[in-house]
Chain A
Amino acid sequence: MIRNKHIISILSGIIGVLGVSCNNVPNSPGWEYMPDMYRSSSYETNSGNPNFVDSMTNRQPVAGTISQGWIANSEFSAVKVPYPYKNDSLGYELAGQNIKDPFPASAEIIAQGKERFEKYCIHCHGASGQGDGSVVTVGNFPPPPAYNGAQLKNLPEGKMFHTLQYGKGMMGSHASQLTAEERWKIIRYVQTLQNPGGVAAAAAPSDSTKKENTVKEKNKKA
């Protein structure tokens, strides 16, 4: 009978191993030794939360509050308060007239803007800003106008920022993905695509040329 006990222990061992290997199921994360140590009871980013009506841990900032970054980085934000213009035609025009890119059009800023552009814009607007990115060509998304086309060639930087803040047409707001500084840097790079050869070649156009462009834009409207 001792021999039989051996067999039973071996069999139960094999069954046990099979039980352990059952955690190779795609839909289940498997077993943990000490779940209460592995997963503390604090709420993590993106986790659910029964204390809020909408059951989300991630909260919106309280209306009217300004994040600390705004004060620390105020030298980079052209408008010293959170974005002051409303999402309407008037706000769009005012932004075009009033707010300016706080960054110089230096080669360094343009390179940083390009790096951001290639992660956040290129798939719709295309590498050269012709509106031929992969989402448009492969995904059948309505094409955005070319940066150097008649509609956008002379678009002032304030209007670009307004568009990134609120979205325009089919383009959505990118304020939740890009900080104000990142957006201004992207705008510096986009300006080189608006005017290929012009800004890019000079790398740093004088302030007067920029003003001229803005004045032209204003005259055109008037």
Chain B
Amino acid sequence: MNCIYSLVKQISLKPLFLLTFFFASLTYGWSADGAKIFKQNCSRCHTIGHGLLTGPDLKDVASRVPQPADTWLFNWIKNNKKVLASGDAYANKVFNENGKQNMDVMDGVISDDDIKAVIAYVKNPPVEAKPAGGGEKTETAHAEEKGMSTFAVLLIVAIALIFLVAVLGNVKKNLQDIVNAKKGLPPSEPVGAVKWASQNKRTFVLILLVLGFFTLRAIYIGVMNIGVYDTYKPEQPIKFSHKTHAGKLAINCVYCHSGAEKGKTSGIPSVNVCMNCHKAISEGPLTGKVEIAKIYDAVGWDPATGKYNKPQHPLKWNRVHALPDFAYFNHSQHVVVGKQDCKNCHGDIASMDVAQQISPLTMGWCVECHRKTEVPGMATNPYYADLHKKLAEKYKGEPITVEKMGGLDCIKCHY
């Protein structure tokens, strides 16, 4: 081992390094470096072959600009304002075509060598390997029943069959009785369950009582659940995944639902908020381009020209949490003064692909929380400071819950 190690050590590493670098540059045309610089400094405005962003698509740019392309591009990247000021016809044409927005001056931001590396990269970008079956990712399977659950259907069928057997048995017995009457024979004996029931009347009544109790109980539970939607998980017009956005990408809830801190409704973000990111991201990990294209359609964005020049179509999202209109609820009150985390009512949305209602949103649920929750923002909020001081004197030492502030008064929520 030692021997090999010393042998390796004896060979100067420098030529080896250069050799590797030579091959690397042969394969990528310096793009290993250029790619990194491009991503860091250029990719926020330019793509190579993926359409127009803020700046033009740089595919085949070297054949479009005045020749020699390398020199022109170098001067342009280094200080585009100088090139424009020099009266360069092509530069001014591009400037006017692209909304008269100046490109960032790169002089002093990246070195001359970096600029050369970027030019080499742009002229010769790596060919993108298309992942096999990449287009198959468009549909995520939602194995949810569209109607009643299979179990319920089976149970109903079973009950109907039992019912049918009972009716047919009865019909058979009646017919047999008629035949027997004609023949002058005594009526036939009751059969099966009916026979058993007529012989064991006490047990039969007991069973009826037990069954009756459970049936009533089930009816009660069913009736109490009318108007409670804590399993509601509607499909949305766009397969937006909260798991991707709020979970993986860690975007704060209020970035999109910015109304939660400012008003009654937390709100569905308007599509311009989607476009803050999706101008650049046209392909998602779960559904590919299909779903993101729906945003472009809604907002009237044309990815090919990079302009909002198409008709707009509002998206019809399905509302998940909907209190009845006779109950007043204000998000900002709960989020800003009450300092409630979104999770307290909405559950771990960041782990859901499709948002689902978690809390029952019944009055009992509201009241329960108001009875035990203190309002952390109240003491420091100048608007409530006086009230808080009075309450602190009234309930010495006790926690001042929402209830103590009058949070259970009918008129607080129903008016």
Residues on A facing B (Cβ under 8 Å):
3-4, 6-8, 10-11, 13-18, 20-33, 37-40, 42, 44-46, 48, 54-56, 58, 88-89, 118-120, 122-123, 134-135, 138-145, 149-151, 167-174, 176-179
Q: Chain A residue with minimal CB distance to B95?
A: A89
Contact of B156 with A by CB under 8 A: yes
Mask: chain B, 178-197; 1 = CB below 8 Å from A; 0 = not: 00000000000000001001
Determine the chain B residues whose CB is within 8 A of the CB of A178 once the complex forms. Answer: 258
Determine the chain A residues whose CB is within 8 A of the CB of B277 once the complex forms. Answer: 135, 139, 141, 172
Tell whether, in the assembled complex, residue B281 and residue A176 are in contact, meaning their CB atoms are under 8 Å apart. Answer: no
Top 6 nearest A-B pairs (CB, nearest first) are A20-B222, A172-B276, A142-B43, A26-B233, A142-B44, A38-B324
Q: Which of A3, A39, A42, A120 contacts B252 (CB 8 A)?
A: A120
Tell whether, in the assembled complex, residue B280 and residue A26 are in contact, meaning their CB atoms are under 8 Å apart. Answer: no
Determine the chain B residues whose CB is within 8 A of the CB of A42 once the complex forms. Answer: 325
Instruction: Report the Cα distance A156→B281, complex, angstroms.
Output: 29
Tell whether, in the assembled complex, residue B218 and residue A140 are in contact, meaning their CB atoms are under 8 Å apart. Answer: no
Instruction: Report the Cα distance A9→B317, complex, angstroms.
Output: 42
Instruction: Report the Cα distance A144→B45, complex, angstroms.
Output: 10
Q: Which of B102, B226, B264, B280 contacts A32 (CB 8 A)?
A: B226
Tell whether, in the assembled complex, residue A26 and residue B223 are in contact, meaning their CB atoms are under 8 Å apart. Answer: no
Determine the chain A residues whose CB is within 8 A of the CB of B219 once the complex forms. Answer: 13, 16-17, 20
Tell whether, in the assembled complex, residue B232 and residue A119 are in contact, meaning their CB atoms are under 8 Å apart. Answer: no
Q: Which of A10, A170, A177 contacts B44 (CB 8 A)?
A: A170
Q: Which of B45, B148, B170 contacts A22 (CB 8 A)?
A: B148
Tell whether, in the assembled complex, residue A141 and residue B281 are in contact, meaning their CB atoms are under 8 Å apart. Answer: yes
Count of interface residues, chain B, beta-carbon cutoff 8 Å: 82
Nearest-neighbour CB distance to chain B for A110, whole angstroms, equals: 18
Determine the chain B residues whose CB is within 8 A of the CB of A27 once the complex forms. Answer: 144, 146, 233-235
Instruction: Report the Cα distance A120→B40, complex, angstroms.
Output: 22
Instruction: Report the Cα distance A118→B251, complex, angstroms.
Output: 10
Tell whether, in the assembled complex, residue A89 and residue B227 are in contact, meaning their CB atoms are under 8 Å apart. Answer: no
Instruction: Report the Cα distance A38→B227, complex, angstroms.
Output: 9
Nearest-neighbour CB distance to chain B for A159, whole angstroms, equals: 12
Determine the chain A residues whose CB is within 8 A of the CB of B145 once the complex forms. Answer: 25
Residues on B facing A (Cβ under 8 Å):
39-41, 43-45, 53-54, 99-102, 104, 108-109, 144-149, 152, 155-156, 159, 163, 166, 170, 194, 197, 204, 208, 211-212, 215-216, 218-219, 222-223, 225-229, 231-235, 248-252, 254-255, 258, 262, 264-265, 267-268, 270, 272-273, 275-277, 279-281, 312, 314, 316-317, 319, 322, 324-326, 356
Q: Which of B40, B197, B231, B234 contacts A24 (CB 8 A)?
A: B231
Tell whether, in the assembled complex, residue A14 and residue B152 are in contact, meaning their CB atoms are under 8 Å apart. Answer: no
Tell whether, in the assembled complex, residue B281 and residue A140 are in contact, meaning their CB atoms are under 8 Å apart. Answer: yes
Nearest-neighbour CB distance to chain B for A94, whole angstroms, equals: 14
Nearest-neighbour CB distance to chain B for A21, whole angstroms, equals: 6
Instruction: Report the Cα distance A48→B318, complex, angstroms.
Output: 11
Tell whether, in the assembled complex, residue A31 and residue B211 are in contact, meaning their CB atoms are under 8 Å apart. Answer: no
Determine the chain A residues whose CB is within 8 A of the CB of B101 once the complex forms. Answer: 88-89
Tell whether, in the assembled complex, residue A143 and residue B109 are in contact, meaning their CB atoms are under 8 Å apart. Answer: no
Q: Chain A residue with minimal CB distance to B284?
A: A139
Tell whether, in the assembled complex, residue A55 and residue B314 are in contact, meaning their CB atoms are under 8 Å apart. Answer: yes
Tell whether, in the assembled complex, residue B314 and residue A56 are in contact, meaning their CB atoms are under 8 Å apart. Answer: yes
Known: A10-B208, A143-B44. A39 touches B268 (CB 8 A): no
Q: Which of A15, A151, A173 contacts B272 (CB 8 A)?
A: A173
Q: List 23 A-B contacts (CB under 8 A).
A: A3-B194, A3-B204, A8-B163, A15-B156, A25-B146, A26-B233, A27-B233, A28-B234, A29-B322, A32-B227, A123-B255, A135-B277, A138-B248, A139-B277, A139-B281, A142-B39, A142-B280, A151-B104, A169-B104, A170-B45, A173-B272, A173-B276, A177-B273
Tell whether, in the assembled complex, residue A119 and residue B255 are in contact, meaning their CB atoms are under 8 Å apart. Answer: yes
Determine the chain B residues whose CB is within 8 A of the CB of A16 once the complex forms. Answer: 219, 222
Tell whether, in the assembled complex, residue A143 and residue B40 are in contact, meaning their CB atoms are under 8 Å apart. Answer: yes
Known: A31-B226, A32-B227. A25 touches B250 (CB 8 A): no
Q: Chain A residue with minimal CB distance to B110?
A: A150
Determine the chain A residues whose CB is within 8 A of the CB of B235 once the complex forms. Answer: 27
Q: Which of A10, A25, A32 contacts B147 (CB 8 A)?
A: A25
Determine the chain A residues whose CB is within 8 A of the CB of B326 once the complex forms. Answer: 37-38
Determine the chain B residues whose CB is within 8 A of the CB of A48 once the complex forms. Answer: 316
Nearest-neighbour CB distance to chain B for A37, whole angstroms, equals: 7
Tell whether, in the assembled complex, residue A176 and residue B109 are in contact, meaning their CB atoms are under 8 Å apart. Answer: no
Nearest-neighbour CB distance to chain B for A106, whole angstroms, equals: 17
Determine the chain A residues whose CB is within 8 A of the CB of B319 once the complex forms. Answer: 46
Instruction: Report the Cα distance A89→B163, complex, angstroms.
Output: 81
Determine the chain B residues whose CB is within 8 A of the CB of A38 once the complex forms. Answer: 227, 324-326
Instruction: Report the Cα distance A25→B101, complex, angstroms.
Output: 52
Given A24-B149, A143-B40, 7 other A-B residues pairs in contact with their CB atoms under 8 A: A14-B218, A15-B159, A20-B219, A45-B267, A169-B44, A170-B45, A173-B272
Nearest-neighbour CB distance to chain A for B312, whole angstroms, equals: 7
Instruction: Report the Cα distance A63→B159, complex, angstroms.
Output: 65
